[in-house]
Structure formats: structure tokens, C-alpha cells
């Protein structure tokens, strides 16, 4: 079966139905009301079997949809910040990239996160009468999409990287999944980079350490699944008619989901790199 998913967790679950995967380690633990699964792909053969590059994948799952506003929002923000910090090798100079199309709601996660991320590079360079010692250097870019800009996202990001030389690039994008239960309930972080559009068979040039020359951490939320993949996953047989035009499925409350989960991710990034600022402080600075 050709299960199409951006989630390493789903790919691993699908393969382990038949046989264990050598070269893959998996650890699970609970923090507050979130289940956190860490998958490490250690070998080239395991990467080939999973269809995912070697590296570390962290999946944060909520029992309730992320569109809900939980009482423990601040705790969830700090949990996400902690997981981001675990993946970062160097936080000296951070570049945050929002991928996607703000005009198409299921694809608008990246731009919305970028809008709420606290950029500080200009402050540290220009604010001579303010003590910015405690601020990390953060730059933020929204790439747009090829159809609107005529420029590949990878070209934009590479040009910015060559200019400001970040120590880590944080890329945010909407993902595709194969299990309906993961739509809008799951956040994936990984240190392997990302191929924009791969979940909807529109893959562009990857953003990774190999292409950009610096560590790339990708953060995403599944906002779509395609009907053929869902059919194959549920019934464990190929879709009945591969020639039929495929349809993408997205949650009915996608607008609220994007609004709520983009704030969660943005605040997680802000807290990871500006630990001396409270969520209230950051909110007042970005809204």
C-alpha cells in the first residue's frame, strides 16, 4: 500500500504491523495532557523503509482537537518550547520560516505562526538605548508560494541564510496525515528538515542541513488527508479507482484550528528562544 503521510509516527506504525523495524528506536511519555512520542531513525536502511530521512522525530498528541483553548495553554506552550530546545544544537542566531499560502486556510499555518513570532534581530542591531542582552537573535520570513511569487521557497530561504548565516532554521508548514484521528490533534517536530508540499504530491526542493548548510528543524500540524490514503489505511487494500480525481479532507473547523494552533506554536517558539520573557510579555509585543 502507498500510504501517504508526513508523520514519521504513522509511517512507523504502518510498517510495524508486519515486522519490527531495525534501526528505529521509539520512546513514549506523558506530559500534562499530552502524549509525546520520540522516534529516532538511526540507519540508512531504516530511513529507506520508513521513507523518512535519518534523524529525530517528536510527535506531540492531544486527545482533544488543538482548536480547543485548554485551561493549561501556558503549560502546553512550555512543553513545546522544551521539545524545541531539545532539538536545537545552537541558539545563537535563529531564522524562523513560515511556509504556505495564507489565502488557503489548510495551508496557512506557516504564515500565521510567522505573524506571531517575536523578531528581535533589528532590535539588537538598532536599539542603542535599550539593554538587549537577554534577547536571542530571531529573524522571521514568510516565503509565499511559487505560484504567487515566481520564486521557490528554497531559493528565498537559501538567499536569506547566505545573508544572515543563522545557527538554526525553524521551518513551519502544514502537513498531511493518513489517520483522521491525527487531523488537528498532532504536532510533529523533527531535525531532518522538510520538503514543502510533499504531503499533497507537490514536493518542492527540500529545506535541510544539506541544502542550507545549517541545522533545520521542521514543525508542522496535519491539516489535510487525502481520501485515497484514508481508504487504503482503513481497509488495508488499494483504493478502488486510482484514476478518480482525489479529494483532500480537512477538519470542518479548520479556521479555528489554524488560529489556535498557530498561536500555540508561535508562543512555543518565542518561549524557547526568549525564556526571560513571560507569555504575557510576548503577547504584548507581537499582538
Q: Can you give the pLDDT at residue 130? A: 82
Q: Can you give the pLDDT at residue 163? A: 97
Q: Can you give the pLDDT at residue 100? A: 94
Q: Are the CB atoms for 276 and 134 separated by under 8 Å?
A: yes
pTM beyond cutoff 0.75:
yes
Q: Can you give the pLDDT at residue 147? A: 87
Q: Can you give the pLDDT at residue 242? A: 58
Residue 199 has pLDDT above 70, yes or no: no
Comparing 16-25, 81-90, 221-230, the range with the smallest average pLDDT is 16-25
Residue 65 has pLDDT above 50, yes or no: yes
Q: Are the CB atoms for 60 and 186 separated by under 8 Å?
A: yes
- Cα angle 71-30-39, degrees, rounded to a multiple of 5: 125
Between 199 and 76, the higher pLDDT residue: 76
- Closest Cα partner for 178 from 15, 7, 1? 7
The 10s digit of each residue's pLDDT in 117-143 is: 999 999 999 987 888 889 999 999 999
User: Residue 191 carries which DSSP code?
Assistant: S
Q: Can you give the pLDDT at residue 1? A: 44
d(CA 111, CA 129): 31
Mean pLDDT value across residues 231-260:
78
Q: Can you give the pLDDT at residue 173? A: 96
Q: Can you give the pLDDT at residue 196? A: 67
CA atoms within 13 A on the CB side of 168: 22
The 10s digit of each residue's pLDDT in 89-109 is: 999 999 999 999 999 999 999
String of DSSP letters for 2-26: ----S-HHHHHHHHTTTSPPTTEEE
| Phi, psi dihedrals of residue 122, rounded to the nearest 5° | -70, -35
Q: Can you give the pLDDT at residue 287? A: 78
Q: Are the CB atoms for 232 and 155 separated by under 8 Å?
A: no
Mean pLDDT value across residues 36-64:
93
Select, from the ranges 195-199, 215-219, 236-240, the one with the highest average predicted confidence (pLDDT). 215-219
Mean pLDDT value across residues 174-185:
92
8-286: CATH number: 3.40.50.1450
* Mean per-residue pLDDT over the chain, rounded: 89
Amino acid at each position: 500500500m502507498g500510504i501517504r503521510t508526513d508523520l514519521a509516527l504513522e509511517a512507523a506504525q504502518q510498517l510495524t504491523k508486519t515486522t519490527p523495524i531495525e534501526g528505529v528506536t521509539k520512546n513514549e511519555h506523558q506530559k500534562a495532557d499530552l502524549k509525546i512520542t520520540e522516534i529516532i531513525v538511526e540507519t540508512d536502511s531504516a530511513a529507506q523503509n520508513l521513507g523518512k530521512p535519518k534523524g529525530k522525530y517528536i510527535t506531540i498528541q492531544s486527545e482533544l482537537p488543538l482548536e480547543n483553548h485548554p485551561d493549561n495553554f501556558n503549560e502546553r506552550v512550555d512543553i513545546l518550547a522544551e521539545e524545541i530546545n531539545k532539538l536545537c544544537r545552537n541558539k545563537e542566531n535563529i531564522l524562523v520560516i513560515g511556509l504556505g499560502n495564507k489565502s488557503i486556510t489548510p495551508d496557512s499555518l506557516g504564515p500565521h505562526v510567522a505573524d506571531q513570532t517575536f523578531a528581535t534581530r533589528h532590535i539588537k542591531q538598532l536599539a542603542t538605548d535599550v539593554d538587549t542582552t537577554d534577547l536571542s537573535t530571531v529573524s522571521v520570513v514568510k516565503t509565499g508560494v511559487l505560484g504567487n511569487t515566481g520564486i521557490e521557497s528554497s531559493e528565498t530561504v537559501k538567499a536569506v541564510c547566505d545573508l544572515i548565516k543563522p545557527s538554526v532554521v525553524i521551518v513551519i508548514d502544514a502537513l498531511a496525515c493518513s489517520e483522521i484521528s491525527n487531523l488537528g490533534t498532532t504536532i510533529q517536530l523533527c531535525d531532518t528538515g522538510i520538503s514543502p508540499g510533499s504531503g499533497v504530491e507537490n514536493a518542492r526542493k527540500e529545506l535541510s542541513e544539506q541544502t542550507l548548510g545549517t541545522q533545520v528543524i521542521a514543525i508542522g500540524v496535519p491539516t489535510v488527508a487525502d481520501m485515497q490514503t484514508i481508504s487504503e489505511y482503513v481497509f488495508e487494500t488499494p483504493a478502488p479507482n486510482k484514476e478518480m480525481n482525489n479529494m483532500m479532507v480537512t477538519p470542518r473547523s479548520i479556521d479555528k484550528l489554524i488560529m489556535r494552533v498557530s498561536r500555540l506554536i508561535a508562543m512555543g517558539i518565542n518561549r524557547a528562544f526568549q525564556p526571560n520573557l513571560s507569555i504575557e510579555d510576548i503577547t504584548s509585543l507581537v499582538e
